[in-house]
Structure 1
Amino acid sequence: MATPEKKEEPKKVTPLLELPKCSKATPSPNPDEYGDMITIVVGSAENVRKFYTYQGLLAHYSTYFKAALKDDWKEGTLKTVNLKDDNPEVFKAFFHWIYTGKLYFALDASGKIPLSEQLICEIYVFGDARGSTNLYNAAIDLLLQKTHQEWKVPLDQIPYVYENTLPGSALRKYLVDDVVETYRFRRLADPTQRETELPRYPQEFLAEIVVAFMALGSKPIPSSAGYGNMPIGQDNWAKYIKPLLCSRYHNHPAPPA
Structure 2
Amino acid sequence: MAPTTPKTPKKATPAKKLLGTELTFILLGDGPKASRKTFVVHKNLLMTVSGFFAMGLTSSFKEADTGIFEMEEEDPDVFSIFIHWIYFNRLFTMKTSPSSATDEDSEEWDCLPRLYTLGERLDAPRFKDAVISATIEKVKESQVMPDNWATYVYQNTVAPCGMRRLIVDFHVFAHQGKLLKKGACPDADEPEGEFLQDAMARMVDAGHSVFTTAAQMPWANPCDYHEHGEEVCHLVEDGGVASPESSSMLPSTPVRRSSRLTDAVASARSAPIPTSLNPGTPSVNGIPAGAQPMEATFKVNQPCPLGVQLPLDNSQTIWFWLPYPHHATIDWTSRREVVNLNEWRYRVIRAAKDAVGIPRFHRP
Q: Identify whether the pair has TM-score above 0.5, normalized to the shorter chain.
A: yes
- Number of residue pairs matched? 209
**The structure with more helix, counted as a fraction of residues:** 1
**2-side partners of 1:58 and 1:51: how far apart?**
12
Q: State which of 65, 75, 91 in structure 2 corresponds to 1:87.
A: 75
Shift of 1:122: 1.4
- 1:232 corresponds in structure 2 to none
Report percent identity of matched pairs: 22
Q: How far off is 1:177 after superposition?
A: 0.9
Cα deviations by residue, 1:200-256 (Å, 9 ceiling, x for unpaired) = 56511111111111112233446527xxxxxxxxxx54xx633x321x11112798x
CA RMSD of aligned residues (A): 3.4
Q: Is the 8 A contact 1:153 1:178 kept in 2?
A: yes
1:100 and 1:197 mapped to 2: Cα distance?
Answer: 33
Counterpart contact for 2:149–2:187, Cα < 8 Å: no
- State the distance in 2 between where 1:175 and 1:93 align: 22
Match for 2:162: what amino acid?
A
The aligned counterpart of 2:214 is: 224
Amino acid of the residue matched to residue 251 of structure 1?
Answer: E
Gaps of 5+ in 1: 1-29, 226-235
Q: Provide TM-score, normalisation by structure 2.
A: 0.50
1:175 to 2:152 alignment: no
Aligned to 1:34: 19
Residue 206 of structure 1 corresponds to which residue in structure 2?
196
| SS of equivalent residue, structure 1 residue 116 | helix
The structure with the larger Rg is: 2
Contact 2:180 2:188 in 1 (8 A): yes
Structure 1 139/80 Cα, relative in aligned 2: closer, same or farther at 3 Å?
A: same
Counterparts of 1:188 and 1:77, CA distance in 2: 50
Q: How does 1:64-103 map to 2 (within 5 A)?
A: 64-70=52-58, 72-103=60-91
What is the match of residue 327 of structure 2? Answer: none
- Higher relative contact order, chain-length normalized (CA < 8 Å, sep 6+): 1
Show the 5 A alignment for 1:1-257.
31-35=16-20, 36-44=22-30, 48-70=36-58, 72-104=60-92, 107=94, 116-184=108-176, 186=178, 198-200=188-190, 202-221=192-211, 223-224=213-214, 237=217, 241-242=219-220, 244-246=221-223, 248-252=224-228
CA distance in 1, matches of 2:226, 2:186: 35
Q: Is the 8 A contact 1:123 1:139 kept in 2?
A: yes
AA aligned opposite 1:32: K
**Partners of 2:193 and 2:89 in 1: how far apart?**
36
